[in-house]
Structure formats: C-alpha cells, structure tokens
Amino acid sequence: MYQPKKIIVVTGHFGSGKTNFSAALALHLAAQGKAVTVVDFDLVNPYFRTADFREAFAKRGITLRAPDYANTNVDIPSVQFDLGGLAAGEGHLIIDVGGDEDGAVALGRYAHVLNSYAETGELDMLGVVSFRRYLTRSAADAAEYLRGIERASRMKLTHLVNNTNLGMETKAEMIAQSMPEFEALCREMNLPAACITVPDFADTPANVPAELLFRVPVVVRLPWMPKSEAVE
C-alpha cells in the first residue's frame, strides 16, 4: 500500500473521484493514529467536495480547512487560510485540488512553497484517473489532461492513482479492464502507481497487485444513496 509523504496534493480531471479519494486517504491515515489536515482547495466546483465531511472528519480528529463559502450558494474563488503555514505544521496535509487546469491555476499561486517540500522529498502530487470518464478513456487522453494540470500548477506529478469506478455500480471487472490503460499511462508519463482503488463493497480484481490495492469507502454519494458508516 502507498505510504504518503507529509504533504499529499491530489489532482485530476473533473469526475475522477479526487474528493472521494482524498476523504478515504484522510480516514485511512487517521485510523492509524496519525494527525491529518485536509484542505478543500476546490475553487471550481461547489458540489461534492471535502467540506461535505466536516462533521465526520471532526469525529476522527481530522482537521478540515475550507473556504468560508464552501457548501453555500456563494461561489467566490478565494481562500482564507495560509497554505504555507499549514504545510509547515505537524502531521499529514492532504490538499484536494479542483479539477483540470482551472483548479490547478489556483494551486500555482503556492507552487514556490510546495515545490520546496517536493525538493526535500516531503511532498507527493498524485494524479487521480478514472478510465470510465468519457474524456479520459485512454492512456493518451489521460496523459494530456494530467500534463495540462502540471503546466497550470507549475508542479510535477510524482505518482498516479487508478480510481476507475462508477460509484455504487462499480464491479471488479471494470477495474480489471482499466488496468492495461493505467499501466500504459504510467509508462507514458514515466510515473509509478501509488495505488489502485477498489470500493469496499466490490470484489478484488485478479490483476490488481496486492501491494497497490487500496480499499476505499464510497463517501461521495448522491442524495438518494445510503450513507457509508465510514463517514457518519
């Protein structure tokens, strides 16, 4: 299983499941007794964001920092916290970045600070990919998106995450089918895999290496879906 660095920047295209992955990783680290701070840095999408889990995080000792307008009908692209100061704090810092290049532009304001941690080996920047999204069904398409994020953020990815899913409709077969494209993407971008996510209710695909398997709860759910005990 992937061993996160002090700072974990989570990026990817819209609908790739960045927020679900960020929340699952925070819960995983907290369950190990580690101090975790999650930054909701999605200044693009006001829906399905880490700020949705404020109460659940608080119950597990996870600190959440989010723009004051998060989960309101006010959509103002601003932050009211010191990202550099949070990066220098104790424990793990998970930064959930808005999708695509537009979301990465905001992150670029802090590139000089965050890249200093990358240089000392204290930062991972993860590219989350779902090959069930219509714009990233191939390794070539996914690589194009991720390189755009690198340019906009002025930062470099360090690992890739295969988060191929269809929410509660996810089957082991669809994850297995995504593996050749994911492996091709790793080769194309010359980056290692951090992990392959498998929802906690799905069977384990036969072609997912045990050391890369990351079981995740589906924490981002539509209003009519039942809640997960992991985030109550």
Q: Please, what CATH class does the domain formed by 7-221 belong to?
A: alpha beta
If you average pLDDT over every residue of the chain, what do you get? 86
Residue type, 76: I
Poorest-confidence range of 35-44, 50-59, 138-147, 196-205?
A: 50-59
Segment 183-224, tens digit of pLDDT: 999 999 999 999 999 999 999 999 999 999 999 987 665 544
* Residue 113 binned pLDDT confidence (cut-offs 50, 70, 90): very high
Segment 49-92, tens digit of pLDDT: 566 677 788 899 999 988 755 444 444 445 556 888 888 888 99
Terminal-residue alpha carbon distance, the chain: 25
**119 pLDDT exceeds 70?**
yes
